[in-house]
């Protein structure tokens, strides 16, 4: 990652962290795949993690890393943001688990040795990563042969309805699915904080994974729980069309 971009992202997440953690109240009894998807305890994509060496990429407040540690895994987490990591360390102390939290970018995993991890996991962080091929090359290096990379992010269909200027979802698509340009938007409520996220089509993700030497094992588009849809976009709401598209995508890939 270029230094300037890395440091502005870090500053942004340092400013956002308190609001993000207060709003989301993320659990630590199970890893999660973002606000719209079932928890890992239900999906069971990682299987029994006891004794597994797991690295969480873009670990934020550390909730998933802590959940893995509570289940007996040996866990490390990496994140850019000092404030997010401070939250993660506090939570790990409260939960009385040991997690090695490291500050850094997911494009440079030099803190971790070649082949030193069984599982790499990431929830809703890869959409902020500008240099995904570099990140995937690092993931491949750090994983042992046959190790798995499991990650979730906003579904690219959802991105098409995201009106960056208004920072809200639109009734009709406002952005082409095929447009690879970064999305610039402002995080509502926190001093109009400028954010950038990156959009790739599903085919582009599959190509990037294959190009980095990963074999795609599963691709999931879980339906959000109906109660959540009822609350956010009731069927008589102007935005109810958003109920018809997937919100989250999850990739499970294996080091070839």
Q: Tell me how far, at minimum, the Cβ of 42 lies from ligand SAM, in Å.
A: 16
The whole-angstrom distance between residue 142's C-alpha and the CA centroid of its chain comes to 18
Q: Distance between CA atoms of 14 and 80, rounded to whole angstroms?
A: 9
Per-residue contact track with ligand SAM, 50 to 69, x per CB under 6 A? --------xxxx--------
Smallest gap from Cβ 255 to ligand SAM, in A, equals 20
Cβ-contact 154, 124 below 8 angstroms: yes
Beta bridge partners of residue 104, listed in sequence order: none
3 vs 235 by CB, closer to ligand SAM: 3
Residue 187 interacts with ligand SAM (CB under 6 A)?
A: no
Asked whether position 123 contacts ligand SAM by CB under 6 A, the answer is yes
Q: Can you point out the beta strands (E) in the chain?
A: 53-57, 74-79, 99-103, 117-123, 143-154, 162-163, 168-169, 183-187, 193-197, 214-220, 248-255
Q: Which is nearer to ligand SAM, 2 or 230 (CB)?
A: 2
What minimum distance in Å lies between the beta carbon of 24 and ligand SAM?
7
Rounded to the nearest whole angstrom, what is the least distance from the CB of residue 34 to ligand SAM in the complex? 7
* Strand-strand pairing, 117-123 and 53-57: parallel
First to last CA, the chain: 25
Note whether 121 binds ligand SAM by CB under 6 A: no
Kindly state the tokens that stand for 109.
């995993």
Please choose, out of 111-119, 122-130, 177-185, 236-244, the segment that lies near ligand SAM by the rule CB under 6 A: 122-130
Q: Binding residue for ligand SAM (CB under 6 A) from 82, 128, 200, 237?
A: 128
Report 80-119 residues binding ligand SAM (CB under 6 A).
80-81, 84, 105-107
CB 53 within 8 A of CB 11: no
Interface ranges with ligand SAM (CB under 6 A): 1, 9, 13, 26, 58-61, 79-81, 84, 105-107, 123-125, 128-129
């Amino acid at each position: 990652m270029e230094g300037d971009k890395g440091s502005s992202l870090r500053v942004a997440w340092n400013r956002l962290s308190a609001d993000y953690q207060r709003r989301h109240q993320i659990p630590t009894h199970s890893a999660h795949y973002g606000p719209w998807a079932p928890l890992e305890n239900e999906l069971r994509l990682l299987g029994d993690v006891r004794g597994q060496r797991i690295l969480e990429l873009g670990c934020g407040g550390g909730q998933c890393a802590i959940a893995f540690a509570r289940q007996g895994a040996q866990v490390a987490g990496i994140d850019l943001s000092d404030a997010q990591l401070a939250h993660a360390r506090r939570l790990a102390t409260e939960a009385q688990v040991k997690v090695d939290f490291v500050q850094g970018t997911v494009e440079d995993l030099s803190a971790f040795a070649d082949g030193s991890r069984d599982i790499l996991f990431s929830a809703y962080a890869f959409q902020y990563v500008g240099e995904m091929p570099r990140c995937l090359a690092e993931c491949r290096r750090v994983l042992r042969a046959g190790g798995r990379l499991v990650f979730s992010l906003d579904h690219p269909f959802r991105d098409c309805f995201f009106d960056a200027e208004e920072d809200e979802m639109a009734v009709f698509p406002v952005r082409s699915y095929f447009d690879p340009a970064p999305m610039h938007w402002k995080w509502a409520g926190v001093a109009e904080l400028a954010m950038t996220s990156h959009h790739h089509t599903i085919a582009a993700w599959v190509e990037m994974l294959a190009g980095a030497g990963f074999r795609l094992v599963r691709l999931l588009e879980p339906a959000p729980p109906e109660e959540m849809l009822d609350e956010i976009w009731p069927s008589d709401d102007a935005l109810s069309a958003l109920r018809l598209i997937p919100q989250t995508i999850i990739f499970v890939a294996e080091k070839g």
